[in-house]
Amino acid sequence: MNLLLISNSTNAGEEYLKYPIEQIGKFLQGVKEIVFVPYAAVTFSYAAYEAKVQARFNEIGIKVRSVHRAKDPRKMIREAEAICVGGGNTFALTKKMQEQGLMKAILRKIKEGTPYVGWSAGSNVSCPTICTTNDMPIVEPESFKAIGAIKFQINPHYLDANPEGHAGETREQRILEYIEANPRRWVVGLREGCMLHLHDGKMELIGPRPMRIFKKGVEIFEVKAGDDLSFLL
């Protein structure tokens, strides 16, 4: 499999997809056209999302084609040179992907070696489930099951601190609840500005911040770029 799983599309104060585009370009070297899944968009149209991604992908010379334009989205996935799933609301994304049968279609393509790029919600749906998303369940999907390209769960946009004056649970506390209910599952807190690259059975963390690791019965620890991540595979 060949996956690039990105925590967030945009760093504070930067333009959309500006920080990861160089890495995306390297990852997609030789690709001319990518099939885009825009279904995480809620407050703007799929066409607008496609255009927004295309504007950035112009810099790496790749044509973006959105599945929302296809009469047969699964066929479009089957014929894809590469696949990209954008961020937004994970529940909206999951519901539409399940309705169109895209989860299984994408998994088959990923297993064949087709490159997959996802950020935020697009990283969430690469996991076994979407249970470690940060999003509100604004719609109800068939289930929480996702693509299952990886064996662990990602929590994108991972934050350490609670905002001043906020008495609610921290991100860490929420993940501790998840691993209590799901003791066999590893969860990674992927901080902003970071991404995971899985290729040829090996995985590496790319980015300036360490990644936080959770599993029931294991003391919370962190890994940094260059560390061995084989325990997650």
Domain boundaries, the chain: 2-232
CA-based angle 195:40:17, to the nearest 5? 40
- pTM listed for this prediction: 0.96
pLDDT of residue 61: 97
Give me the residue label for tokens 């040179």: 81
> Looking at the annotation, which residues are catalytic?
120, 135, 157
Q: Identify the CATH homologous superfamily for domain 2-232.
A: Class I glutamine amidotransferase (GATase) domain (3.40.50.880)
pLDDT of residue 165: 73
User: 152 vs 3, 41, 58, 101, 222, CA distance in Å?
Assistant: 14, 25, 32, 22, 15
pLDDT of residue 178: 98
pLDDT of residue 10: 93
Residue 154 in 3-state DSSP? strand
pLDDT of residue 166: 72
pLDDT tens column, 66-114: 999 999 999 999 999 999 999 999 999 999 999 999 999 999 999 999 9
pLDDT of residue 83: 98
Integer Cα distance of 163 and 143 in angstroms: 32
pLDDT tens column, 158-210: 998 776 777 678 899 999 999 999 999 999 999 999 999 999 899 999 999 99
State both tokens at 48.
């607008």
pLDDT at residue 216 is higher than 80: yes
Mean pLDDT of 18-36: 97
Give Cα 82 distance to the centre of its chain.
15
